[in-house]
Structure 1
């Protein structure tokens, strides 16, 4: 009996590490995942869409599909990396004004683990809305925010480019793998 490969949806936002999201795609594929890449509209200017489509063998999605277009496979896990200040705050508030945010809004209710790997500077990280969003998302079942000294630590304003090589893609993948195992053992209850 063969089992279908696990599907990892990677949501990429418009931040410095986005240009290197192929690194995460490669790590995931090496670990046996089928990868579906979703870009926020602003992230399209940060990534090499043709190269990523060739790497994944799938179209990069950034908008809702038309009725006659095929569906993407349902994700077993979602990684948001790099996750921007804007996306983190909108996700925490339940805003669903893009395809990427629509996927995120629905995922916890479907029992799909979501791993958030931020990329923000220290000035943005000090803002009360951001701190509230991080706390709120961290408290929700099935959402894992990799934020702190051993995960992602904000950089000084204007120095994001200096920290691209240290962006911890592998931590996001490790958490997604761990979360899918846990989700299988403890399914999300169906609302009444």
Structure 2
């Protein structure tokens, strides 16, 4: 008898890359939606977002440590390999660095590698209209689309107003990724 036949099938593994935006504290909504759709989830955080989220709550929800820094050589990998990646909320800074290939944080490094590894990736931008007006942002979105990144439909909010949390559709990342992963 095959030893693997006694094991439960592995659920697909989703990396949620979370960036420092005012709505980042609601990332649990995406984690819950993914778990409801039978994903295992691990969170990769930009260093700045750690002050925006409840690390203990998220780690308890996922069962994995949040990753925000590179591990030392020889240290075990704390997360399984990703079957897909959702970047939510994705800030102006992260989108532009990712499109330019600037791998200065673990989160952006993982995103840059995902392209070469062929990992389906969806991004849900969250920024204001002044940032969205900058030419680098549109160029970055175009480059990400050329790379096969699936881009969500969030409409930027007014500068200095924050907000838009009621219009931010966390589950859209899963809607974008599901056809890619199930092929």
TM-score range, shorter chain: over 0.9
Aligned residue pairs, count = 176
Q: Which residue of the partner structure matches residue 16 of structure 1?
A: 22
Kindly report which structure 2 residues correspond to 1:112-123, keeping only aligned pairs within 5 A, or say none: 112-123=119-130
Q: Which residue of the partner structure matches residue 54 of structure 1?
A: 60
Counterparts of 1:140 and 1:67, CA distance in 2 = 29
Residue 158 of structure 1 and its aligned partner are, at CA, apart by: 2.1
Counterparts of 1:99 and 1:171, CA distance in 2 = 24
4+ runs deviating over 4 angstroms: none
Residue 68 of structure 1 and its aligned partner are, at CA, apart by: 4.2
Residue 88 of structure 1 and its aligned partner are, at CA, apart by: 0.2
Instruction: Give the TM-score normalised by structure 2.
Output: 0.92
Kindly report which structure 2 residues correspond to 1:10-159, keeping only aligned pairs within 5 A, or say none: 10-71=16-77, 72-141=79-148, 143-146=149-152, 151-159=153-161
**CA-atom RMSD in angstroms:** 1.1
Which consecutive unaligned segments of at least 5 residues does structure 1 have? Answer: 183-192
Residue 165 of structure 1 and its aligned partner are, at CA, apart by: 2.3
Which consecutive unaligned segments of at least 5 residues does structure 2 have? Answer: none
